[in-house]
Amino acid sequence: METKDLIQKSIDTVRILAADAVQKANSGHPGTPMALAPLGQILWSEVMRYNPKNPHWPNRDRFVLSAGHACMLQYAFLHLTGYEISLDDIKNFRQLHSITPGHPEYGLTPGIEVTTGPLGQGFANGVGMAVAQQYMAARYNQPDFEIFDYKIYAICSDGDMMEGVTAEAASLAGHLGLGNMIYFYDNNHITIEGDTDLAFDEDVSKRFEAYGWHVQNIADINDLEALREAINNAEKETERPSLINVRSVIGYGSPNKHNTAAAHGSPLGGDEVRLVKENFGFDPDKCFKIPTEVAEFYHEAGENSARHEASWNELYNNYKKRHPELAKEYEDITGGKLPAEWQKKLPVFEAGEKMATRKASGKTLNAIAEFLPQLIGGSADLAPSTDTHLNDFKSFSSKNPDGRNFHFGIREHAMGAVLNGMALSNYLIPYGATFLIFSDYMRPPLRLASVMNIRPIMVFTHDSIGLGEDGTTHQPIEQLIGLRTVPGMTVIRPADANETAQAWRVAIEHAAGPVCIVLTRQEIPVIDQEKFTKAAELEKGAYILSEAEGEPEIILIASGSEVQLILEAQETLKEENINARVVSMPSWNLFDNQPAKYQQKIFPKNLRKRLAVEAGSPVGWMKYTTDDGDVIGIEKFGESAPAEELFAEYGFTVENIVSRARDLLEKN
C-alpha cells in the first residue's frame, strides 16, 4: 500500500474506532474525534516525543486535550501507539471501572497528562506546564545538555475559546512569551445548540494576535501538508506561544450528520455508523476492526518515538557525570525527598507579640524558600496583601525563567488552573494567593486538583469579617465550608503565627491533594508555646491546646483567630469553677484522617457538651459538636465596619462564648 494511502486508512480507522466506541457506549461525542483524526495522526506519528512503555519519561512532550469530550481521539491513539490501553478498554468506553472514562482522567489512564472536560481548564493547565518546563530548563540545562526542552501541545474547541478562563490564561501566556506552547484551535463551528454563530462570531485569530501569540490559519484539517508546515513554523517560534487555527468538519465522514450538532454529543446511530464505514471503504458489518497494516503503522510510530527517550537517557547519564550536584537535586526533588534540615528553618514566634497570620506566612515562606528550589508561586496581584513575595528571588518572566515570584495578574481562575499545570510537572510545589472570598473564582481548578490528587498550595488571606471596612463583598462567610466539602482537599486555618509556620510544613510535606492555608488580615496574639501545647500538633488537625485543670465538663473548639477567644473564655469559666478543655482545630480534613483512638482522645464520646466558635458558616460543625453541642458562627453576610466592632456585633466575644457555654451546661 502506498504510504499516502496507508496514512489515510490509518486516519479513517481512528474515525471509525471513535464512532464504534461511542455507539457501543450509547453516549459520548463522536463528531470531534472524527474531525480531528488527521491532526492526531500527524502529532502521534510524526511530531510528538513520547514513550508508550514509560508514560512518565521526564522530557516527553505533553499533550493536553482541552476539548476533553473528544477523548476517544486520545484513547484511540494511545491504544494504537502502544500504551497499556487494550482494545477491550476501548470497547468499555464510558463503562463502570473502565480506564476509558467519558473525559480524560489523570492517574487513571496511561498517557493522560491532565484531567480535562470542564472547558478552558486544559488550555490554562498547559500554560502551567509550559512555565514548569521553562523554570526547570533554566535551573538544570547546561551547555551541550538540553535536559528539559519538551513542548506542550494542546487541542482546544470552540467551547474552550468561549470560556473566560481561556482569555485569562491566553493573555498571561502571551505576556510571558511561552514559546514552548503549540495549541490547535479546532474551529468546527458547532456546539451542542447548533452553529457557533448563535453566540460566537469573533475573530479568534485576531484575538490571539492581540494577546501576543504567533497565529497561523489552516483552511482544511485534511490538508496534511499544511498541518506539517504550520507545526514546523510553530516549533521554530521560541518567543511566543503558537495558535494554529484549523478549520474542521465535525462528524467528518458521516453522510447525514457531518457539520451538524447531531454529531457533537450523541451516538451517530447504528445505521449511520454503517454508512460511515462504507464511506471510508470499511466492512460495515465489522466493529472495532483495526486493519493489520494500520496496527503495524502506529505500533512502529510508537516504537520510533520511544527512541527519543533512549537518546535522552544517554544524554542524562553524561549530564550526571558532568553536573552531579544538579542531577542529585533534581532526582531528590522528583523523588519526593526534602532537604534533611529544612524544618529547622521554620521560624518560631515569641509569645506576647501580635501578628496577622498572613504576615507569619510571609516570614515562613522567606525563611524556607532558599532550601526548597521547587517552591515557586505568587498571587493574583495581591502579593503585598497576602505576603507571598519571596524577597531574595526574581520574578518569573521571559527574560528570567528562573524567577520564583509569579505574577498572575488579576486572574484568579487562570491562577488556579495554571498552578495545576505547574504541579503536574512532578517537580514544582506551586502556590498561589488571593483573598478567601475570591476562592469562589477558583472553584473549578480547585476541584480538579482534588480529582487529580495533585498538590498545589493555595494561600487564602483576609479570612473573615475580621478584614473589616471592605464590607459585605469581601467578607467570606460560606467559603470555608465550601472548601472543606471538596473530597481530598486539605483546608488549614491556623490559630496564630506558630501554627501558620506548621501549616506550611504540613503543606510542603503533604503527599497528595491540594492544600488551602487560610489566614487573617488582622493581628492576633501569638500563643505561648511554653504554657500551652506546641503548634506542631497542628499536623493532627485538632489537638488539646489547653486542658482543663480538673475533669472537663465542656469542650471549647475553634479555628483561626477565634482560638484566642476560647482560651480567654476558658480562664473566665475557670473563675466560675467550670472546667473547660480548649481544642484548636485548624483542619477538619487532617483530623478526620487520624486513628479513631486519637479522635476519641480529643472528643470523648461521654463528653458531648461542646461549643465550636468560628467566624464563618456553622454548617458542618455539628459533626464535631454533636446534638448536645452548639456553634457560634455566622449565617448572614457581613457589614462594613472596623473589625473589633464587627466581632462584637456578631457575637465573637469572650462574654458571649462564656454565656453560650453556661447555657449548654444547664441543658439536660
Active-site residue numbers? 412
User: What CA–CA distance (Å, rounded) separates 644 from 323?
Assistant: 57
User: What CA–CA distance (Å, rounded) separates 511 from 337?
Assistant: 11
Contacts of residue 426, Cβ cutoff 8 Å, sequence gap at least 6: 56, 58, 334
User: What CA–CA distance (Å, rounded) separates 6 from 489?
Assistant: 48
φ, ψ at 103 (rounded to 5°): -140, 150
Provide the 3-class DSSP secondary structure of residue 460: strand
User: What CA–CA distance (Å, rounded) separates 44 from 23?
Assistant: 25
User: What CA–CA distance (Å, rounded) separates 73 from 31?
Assistant: 10
CB 109 within 8 A of CB 155: no
Amino acid at 376: I
Residue holding cell 488527521?
38
User: What CA–CA distance (Å, rounded) separates 299 from 144?
Assistant: 32
Helices 270-279, 3-25: inter-axial angle, 10-degree rounding: 180
Provide the 3-class DSSP secondary structure of residue 577: coil
Task: Report the length, in residues, of the chain.
Answer: 668
171-192 b/e (C-beta count within 10 Å ≥ 16 → b): bbbbebbbbbbbbbbbbbebbe
Short-list 321, 130, 341, 145, CA closest to 239:
130
All cell numbers assigned to 547? 486542658
Residue holding cell 524558600?
369
